[in-house]
Structure 1
Amino acid sequence: MASVFRSEEMCLSQLFLQVEAAYCCVAELGELGLVQFKDLNVNVSSFQRKFVNEVRRCESLERILRFLEDEMQNEIVAQLPERPPPTPLPREMITLETLLEKLEGELQEANQNQQALKKSFLELTELKHLLKKTQDFFETETNLADDFFTEDTSGLLELRTVPAYVTGKLGFTAGVINRERMASFERLLWRVCRGNIYLKFSEMDTTLEDPVTKEEIKKNIFIIFYQGEQLRQKIRKICDGFRATIYPCPEPAAERREMLAGVNMKLEDLITVITQTESHRQRLLQEAAANWHSWAIKVQKMKAIYHILNMCNIDVTQQCAIAEIWFPVADTGRIKRALEQGMIWNTFFHGRYLILLMGIFSIYTGLIYNDCFSKSLNIFGSSWSVRPMFRNGTWNTYVMETNPYLQLDPAIPGVYSGNPYPFGIDPIWNLASNKLTFLNSYKMKMSVILGIVQMVFGVILSLFNHIYFRRTLNIVLQFIPEMIFILCLFGYLVFMIIFKWCHFDVHVSRHAPSILIHFINMFLFNYDDPSNAPLYKHQQEVQSFFVVMALISVPWMLLIKPFILRANHRKSLLQASVMQNATEDVEGDNSSPSGSTGQRASAGAHGAEDDHEEEFNFGDVFVHQAIHTIEYCLGCISNTASYLRLWALSLAHAQLSEVLWTMVMNIGLRLRGWGGLIGVFVIFTIFAVLTVAILLIMEGLSAFLHALRLHWVEFQNKFYVGAGYKFAPFSFKYILDGTAEE
């Protein structure tokens, strides 16, 4: 019963584990997930704990696993294991470290080789296109004669066909630059060289790939003609600044063609080597993908175990680990078996009960309201019959055509059988013109009854809290007046509703007042109107008594408890003062005649009294009790009104169901012939889709939300007291699930 009315009973215990078996025991408790460990080394930094090196090794393995995950990203999908691997033994960390470090080293080496090969491939590709574009330039340039260049002994080019006053050495530089830098590169060359150069460039039609970032890059090929060594140095510096790559390009066409052939051969060999390197890298990634999840789970479990061991005290002399754990008392046997297994080393439906109960309650209310897709089920047979009204032979077609709504007169014998419908609403109401008015009143009263019964049950649950904490004062001065207040007003209202349903009489039913009138009369005491005739004898006296008792319960809750608490506090202070004076008299007999000791003791007593006065504040206690009384009294009214949301939900559900039936399904049932058969099939499909989407999904979620609010707010505020802190057991399942969500 304790687990129903309050949180699970918990136990704090100490564990003394052998150092050799501590790892295995913690692993078994982690698989069980029922134990929360306390940190016994709060004042010890993380770097000074016993198993800090093991934790660092696990973090190093996690770094390698993250590296492997990044390498596999967008290339290979890691395979999930069929079942989670068991917790590895401590010695398995060495094997796992060796395996992962070897795999990391081979993969890094393959990546470095691949980057170097791709860098060489990029350079050879650029040189290949540069030689082609340079050849095209010399062949298509019409302003230059065939003997425009001549090579001298210094390796530079001489200008032949230019006038003598500009005759000098002429050279050229060819290279490749990123396309987005070309405009700035050209502008800076023109300004620095003051226009004394000739620049020719062309876009490279092939998209290249950066060997490091693997991003696509676009480049331009350029050739710059200049005169003099000074300009050559300036051009070189500008090329370095813009990270342009300068390639050697021979001037004779035959040498360029020979160099281009050699570059093509090297590219073919390089492509073969790159393919083999990529195949080796893929094999390594496939090996990692096959076991990555298993390795990650093992590392996370080992790291979690060592974190828990760092929270324990290690007794070096006795070679044991001391741990303090919180665990539910009901699970003591399972925890002991887990510890025994570790030494050898070899909640109701998980919270879904609320949805289950809501489903059962929805079926129950559906049977009460006798409403299934806006149609009633005649299970027990109606208690009303129209035939006795036409025993004299007046039943004919004319009567049916001229009276679409027949008034059932209970005064005629045989119309009402005298026995009400056994359970729920009589199906005859489905034919009544005032069905909606009647069902609204009925559903509203049912919501009020359900709400008041649940709130009374919540107040009763508060009694178990007072008994458990041995608060007798709260039972007499809080629970009893609360029960008197809610039962005398709202409990009596429920009684009157049910009494009127049961006490039906044909002759007085037309003059019986409504329940609302009765409820108002509890305060007005007005029975002069003959239409407000009482339903039973001495009703006025009974209601007067209940009203008086409800009014008495308010000051009972408000005033008595604060004054009794103040009287108890003063009594405890008086007892403490008497004991202190007795102590002073004993000490005074054994002290010097000066009496200084007694004065100091007296001063200490006054100081203690001042401390107690600061701890107990009558004003705060009185205000707190006043707030509780006001919240309870007003809450009973507001919460009762809040339960009317059940009525509103039921009304909306019934109206939506009726609209879907009359506007959708009823149309298909009117069709005849083969067309009607096909039409019924199509319209039923539409009807089923709308029913599932609107009534089951949308209305179901709305009902779940409102029912959850009524449970947590209107019901639990009568007894719920949240204290302590949440129980968070050490569980591998929670650790792995949390990592997966991240």
Structure 2
Amino acid sequence: MGSLFRSEEMALCQLFLQSEAAYACVSELGELGLVQFRDLNPDVNAFQRKFVNEVRRCDEMERKLRYLEKEIKKDGIPMLDTGESPEAPQPREMIDLEATFEKLENELREVNQNAEALKRNFLELTELKHILRKTQVFFDESVPMVYKSSAHHSSHKYRRYLQMADNQNEDEQAQLLGEEGVRASQPGQNLKLGFVAGVISREKLPAFERMLWRACRGNVFLRQAMIESPLEDPTSGDQVYKSVFIIFFQGDQLKTRVKKICEGFRATLYPCPEAPADRREMAMGVMTRIEDLNTVLGQTQDHRHRVLVAAAKNLKNWFVKVRKIKAIYHTLNLFNLDVTQKCLIAECWVPLLDIETIQLALRRGTERSGSSVPPILNRMQTFENPPTYNRTNKFTKAFQALIDAYGVASYREMNPAPYTIITFPFLFAVMFGDIGHGAIMALFGLWMIRKEKGLAAQKTDNEIWNIFFGGRYIIFLMGVFSMYTGFIYNDIFSKSLNIFGSHWHVSYNKSTVWNNKLLQLSPKTSDYEGTPYPFGMDPIWQVATSNKIIFQNAYKMKISIIFGVCHMLFGVIMSWHNHTYFRNRLSLVYEFIPQLVFLILLFFYMVLLMFIKWNRYAATNELRWSEACAPSILITFIDMVLFNEPKKPPVGCKTVYMFWGQHFIQVVFVLGALCCIPVMLLGKPMKIMQARKQANEEVQPITGSSDAEIGGPAGHGNGGGGHHEEEEMSEIFIHQGIHTIEYVLGSVSHTASYLRLWALSLAHAQLADVLWTMVLSIGLQKEGWLGGIFLTIVFAFWAILTVGILVLMEGLSAFLHTLRLHWVEFQSKFYLGQGYAFQPFAFDAIIENGSAASGETD
């Protein structure tokens, strides 16, 4: 937990590994996840590095595994996931893995190709079966293949077709049918009709029919019938609805044109015998072949299923193994080779406390590889800023993520995360205080915590769910704290709990109370003089419609300022820890002290005035110290800052001051606060300028006024330090001026910013009250069994609105406001957040992020 308050001390180390042992040692370090390697070949192309061929082999194996995974998911076969992470295979095992994947891929592709060919044959036979069945119906409708032009056929459509053919002139007939067709179409001659039969997609049929009519000038006759059941496309596997068609025409020229149109619309034509006996014989043969194909297809699918089931048992482990191998070779590509080509050299950041653990892992890797040369891990001196590493667990991880979202802490700078664990849910609860709403949120968080193992195993791409699950401990604490503040406010779904009995005494009679809605609670009347309600607000305030808002306004506004000033003071005190740790004496004397004094003399004094006012003025006191004579804190503070003379006290009140000497003390405080501003503005730059001048005169470095004192946190021993170029004095004055103005003006704006605690708390309470009054109370107005049914419906509607608006939307709003208070008002007092995160080479992170993150260690 020590590193949670301040990041781990890091060391830059140089690592020497024998070539034969490098793979096994890096594998052990990947399992450990405590080493961040640096790229020693930044100018070398990725395709020119030593282990590029091995990385390509891993990419190829990963491609084959993704193909297997796609086929397994297509068949809906569950993949076994034991949750265990197998060790990275040895390099010699890559050949066996490649052979296994190659065999599986080739076998599966061959099975798929055979299955696709069989399905294509099955589709053709099925379509031919439907053609033979449907065309038999067409021919059975007394449609002869040979007509006489003067004949009167029973079908009106056929008579119309023949009539159009007879009415054409000789030129048109010659063009469409040829001379032989013209002679055959003369009256009294036999007319021979040709036909083609096929299958076409149902959605193309209307356009197909129009094109036939226009291209053939109406000299063809189309009959079509739908195939009721969809047919499977052998290529895509989609279900397609199709229709059978038969087209009658005259002459070879129309036949050619019809076939071209069928080809353009991707219609499939099939041979259809003219004689009924031939059609029946063909149909019987087709049915026999379909049955045989069904048998073969079933056997093929069974074989494919067995192959995929066997692969599904090991697929997860294969993915883990391949990604580990790939990550190891990616990491080895970051290393350098020595001149003998027998040793690999690496540089890495490691936590100082874990050096022994890392050395043990390197020793294990050397023993596994059978090498006799031990690895060497040497610490190096550097002026680079080390990465920031805060150890976290599943509880603190979410709070650390909130801080890192603002900016990763500078190296060894104070970490706000441990304090945020308490202040974040508490400030949220001040805005969200409601026992009922807090209980809903706490139960949801508790459910995710209790089921976290199962929920974590069900990996999903739903980003919203992942955010909720990642912040389950934050949600639980926010709900618990909201229940606590809900008890303080005595608020549960806009109602109160009368646990200890009200301590107020209403002096009015019943008729006066019922008839006069403008009555207010008198602060003088209570059952037990001087004894308030034991915990939280008295429940009678819930029915005090006249002065409930007035009372809660004053109460919540004051506690918002109190919490805000205390929160900011704590942030300023945190900067003291940074200055003392980095031995930054200038910042300690000329920044921390005047900042603390400025905040105390003005805003903490205002907080003290609130407590003095609460303590000295009461309704039961004499007139001069009663609530009627209590001065306004806001007016008092404004008069204090502007050096205004206070206004005359109300009639009967002797003074506007709360204590003796208040005016003199306020003048001293304001003057003291104003004197802090030039100290913050000029103190540090003047001392730096003086130190530099003295250094130039003495021609030697000045200790105690290094550049680390100018720029903030730098390295502190143990493997790293901040190294800054000397900054121009003009820039130092400008930066210090900006910093001073930001702090002085920010103290005012930040204090006012904490009033959002008051505003959102009142808004939340009023929304809950409105929802109760305008929704749920309506359901309570009816009696009897109809009233019960109506109340159930209204309650369901009220519950949906409560969860959707007051818990989710209001909860998100309060969460964002709390986040702003921590990022801007609190962390700006001490937190730079200019570091970069420690990203160790860890197999767990690589596997969790999937193939996209495989091998990304730099």
Is the Cα contact below 8 Å between 2:77 and 2:312 reproduced in 1? yes
Residue 198 of structure 2, aligned match among 158, 176, 181: 176
- Aligned residue runs from structure 1 range 73-152, under 5 A: 73-90=73-90, 91-130=92-131, 140-142=142-144, 144=146
Distance in 1 between residues matched to 2:293 and 2:806, nearest whole Å: 67
Is the Cα contact below 8 Å between 1:177 and 1:243 reproduced in 2? no
Distance in 2 between residues matched to 1:296 and 1:120, nearest whole Å: 37
Equivalent AA in structure 2 for residue 87 of structure 1: E
Match of 1:466 in 2: 579
3-state SS of paired residue (2:319):
helix
Shift of 1:76: 1.5
Matched, 1:305 2:328: yes
Matched, 1:736 2:847: yes
Shift of 1:237: 7.2
- Aligned residue runs from structure 1 range 162-241, under 5 A: 162=184, 174=196, 176=198, 178=200, 199-203=220-224, 205-206=226-227, 207-215=230-238, 216=240, 218=242, 220-222=244-246
Unaligned runs of 5+ in 2: 149-179, 370-391, 400-420, 425-473, 702-724, 854-858
Is the Cα contact below 8 Å between 1:444 and 1:644 reproduced in 2? yes
Distance in 1 between residues matched to 2:548 and 2:261, nearest whole Å: 93
3-state SS of paired residue (2:594):
helix
Match of 1:479 in 2: 592
3-state SS of paired residue (2:12):
strand
Shift of 1:626: 2.5
Shift of 1:447: 1.0
Match of 1:272 in 2: 295
Residue 648 of structure 2, aligned match among 518, 523, 529: 529
Shift of 1:509: 1.7
Distance in 1 between residues matched to 2:300 and 2:537, nearest whole Å: 80
Shift of 1:466: 2.7
3-state SS of paired residue (1:325):
strand
**Cα deviations by residue, 1:135-163 (Å, 9 ceiling, x for unpaired):** 666664347169xxxxxxxxxxx999948
Residue 322 of structure 1, aligned match among 345, 349, 353: 345
Match of 1:296 in 2: 319
Structure 2 CA distance for partners of 1:418 and 1:160, relative to 1, 3 Å: closer
Match of 1:559 in 2: 682
Match of 2:661 in 1: 538
Distance in 1 between residues matched to 2:184 and 2:521, nearest whole Å: 123
Shift of 1:235: 7.6
- Aligned residue runs from structure 1 range 394-409, under 5 A: 407=522, 409=524
3-state SS of paired residue (1:726):
coil
Structure 2 CA distance for partners of 1:672 and 1:248, relative to 1, 3 Å: closer
3-state SS of paired residue (1:536):
coil
Identity %: 49
Match of 1:636 in 2: 747
Structure 2 CA distance for partners of 1:16 and 1:127, relative to 1, 3 Å: same
Match of 1:45 in 2: 45
Structure 2 CA distance for partners of 1:289 and 1:706, relative to 1, 3 Å: same
Equivalent AA in structure 2 for residue 519 of structure 1: F
**Cα deviations by residue, 1:169-198 (Å, 9 ceiling, x for unpaired):** 989574536457778888988999x88x97
- Aligned residue runs from structure 1 range 429-468, under 5 A: 434-468=547-581
Structure 2 CA distance for partners of 1:167 and 1:619, relative to 1, 3 Å: farther
Is the Cα contact below 8 Å between 1:478 and 1:557 reproduced in 2? yes
3-state SS of paired residue (1:727):
coil
- Aligned residue runs from structure 1 range 705-724, under 5 A: 705-724=816-835
Is the Cα contact below 8 Å between 2:134 and 2:244 reproduced in 1? no
Match of 1:27 in 2: 27
Match of 2:673 in 1: 550
CA-atom RMSD in angstroms: 5.0
TM-score by length of 1: 0.76
| Greater shift in the superposed pair: 492-501 or 695-704 | 695-704
| Greater shift in the superposed pair: 527-536 or 267-276 | 527-536
Distance in 1 between residues matched to 2:844 and 2:758, nearest whole Å: 42
Q: Which structure has the bigger radius of gyration?
A: 1
Equivalent AA in structure 1 for residue 346 of structure 2: A
Equivalent AA in structure 2 for residue 714 of structure 1: E
Distance in 1 between residues matched to 2:646 and 2:673, nearest whole Å: 21
Is the Cα contact below 8 Å between 1:17 and 1:320 reproduced in 2? yes
Matched, 1:520 2:638: yes
Match of 2:708 in 1: none
**Cα deviations by residue, 1:636-656 (Å, 9 ceiling, x for unpaired):** 111111111112233234445
Structure 2 CA distance for partners of 1:421 and 1:407, relative to 1, 3 Å: closer
Match of 2:815 in 1: 704
Is the Cα contact below 8 Å between 2:572 and 2:596 reproduced in 1? yes
Distance in 2 between residues matched to 1:53 and 1:323, nearest whole Å: 20
3-state SS of paired residue (1:44):
coil
3-state SS of paired residue (1:723):
coil
**Cα deviations by residue, 1:301-325 (Å, 9 ceiling, x for unpaired):** 2222222222223458474433322
3-state SS of paired residue (2:348):
strand
Distance in 1 between residues matched to 2:282 and 2:335, nearest whole Å: 72
Match of 1:375 in 2: 496
Is the Cα contact below 8 Å between 1:18 and 1:321 reproduced in 2? yes
Structure 2 CA distance for partners of 1:132 and 1:439, relative to 1, 3 Å: closer
| Greater shift in the superposed pair: 330-339 or 622-631 | 330-339
Distance in 2 between residues matched to 1:662 and 1:3, nearest whole Å: 51
Distance in 2 between residues matched to 1:675 and 1:235, nearest whole Å: 71
Is the Cα contact below 8 Å between 1:68 and 1:104 reproduced in 2? yes
Shift of 1:442: 2.1
Shift of 1:32: 3.5
3-state SS of paired residue (1:15):
strand
Is the Cα contact below 8 Å between 2:146 and 2:192 reproduced in 1? no
Matched, 1:622 2:733: yes
Is the Cα contact below 8 Å between 2:86 and 2:317 reproduced in 1? no
Structure 2 CA distance for partners of 1:713 and 1:358, relative to 1, 3 Å: farther
Shift of 1:445: 1.2
Equivalent AA in structure 1 for residue 496 of structure 2: K
- Number of matched pairs: 683
Equivalent AA in structure 1 for residue 398 of structure 2: G
Shift of 1:399: 11
TM-score by length of 2: 0.67
Equivalent AA in structure 2 for residue 28 of structure 1: E
Distance in 2 between residues matched to 1:125 and 1:430, nearest whole Å: 78
Shift of 1:533: 3.5
Residue 625 of structure 2, aligned match among 509, 513, 517: 509
Match of 2:610 in 1: 497
Shift of 1:676: 12
Is the Cα contact below 8 Å between 1:77 and 1:289 reproduced in 2? yes
- Aligned residue runs from structure 1 range 627-666, under 5 A: 627-655=738-766
Is the Cα contact below 8 Å between 1:61 and 1:299 reproduced in 2? yes
Shift of 1:104: 1.5
Is the Cα contact below 8 Å between 1:133 and 1:202 reproduced in 2? no
Match of 2:151 in 1: none
Distance in 2 between residues matched to 1:431 and 1:222, nearest whole Å: 85
Shift of 1:545: 0.7
Is the Cα contact below 8 Å between 1:54 and 1:306 reproduced in 2? yes
Is the Cα contact below 8 Å between 1:119 and 1:211 reproduced in 2? yes
Is the Cα contact below 8 Å between 1:314 and 1:320 reproduced in 2? yes
Is the Cα contact below 8 Å between 1:125 and 1:267 reproduced in 2? yes
Match of 1:588 in 2: none
Unaligned runs of 5+ in 1: 147-157, 390-394, 579-613
3-state SS of paired residue (1:34):
coil
Is the Cα contact below 8 Å between 2:520 and 2:547 reproduced in 1? no
Structure 2 CA distance for partners of 1:541 and 1:67, relative to 1, 3 Å: same
Shift of 1:239: 6.8
Distance in 1 between residues matched to 2:204 and 2:34, nearest whole Å: 64
Distance in 2 between residues matched to 1:44 and 1:659, nearest whole Å: 67
